[in-house]
Amino acid sequence: MKFVRVTLTVSLLVGLAIVRSALATSWSNDQSDLWWNSSEDGWGIQFVQRGSTIFATMFVYDGAGNPTFYVATMDGTKANGVLSFTGDLLATHGSPFGRVPYSPANFGFVKVGTMT
């Protein structure tokens, strides 16, 4: 019985050591974040990272208070130890949430630049 307990304990410790090593080799620290500053009303941005890709959503209001939403899907690269994410910046358009009847033709986007 002692042999079985020792074998199970050693197996558990070896398994935990392997899992810990796998977690330590992830692509990068998670860069996900949300930015809004009350002294800079009129815009905000959110980043969500999954692996080597970040999806960004930016909301900006013009002088008349009309909203414009921008999105970017950015792929990450590591060069000389520097982590960078870059992708196309798209301006989106569509109808308000919940508009009935829903029409996919009302929604779309146009490339307006690059986000890094």
Mean pLDDT score of the chain: 82
CA dihedral 75, 59, 97, 107 (to 10 degrees): -60
How is residue 49 written in tokens?
A: 């990272």
Domain residues of the chain, as ranges? 28-115
Query: Is the confidence at residue 54, as pLDDT, over 90?
Result: yes
When pLDDT is averaged across residues 48-60 and rounded to a whole number, the result is 93
pLDDT of residue 21: 47
DSSP 76-96: EEEETTEEEEEEEEEEEE-PP
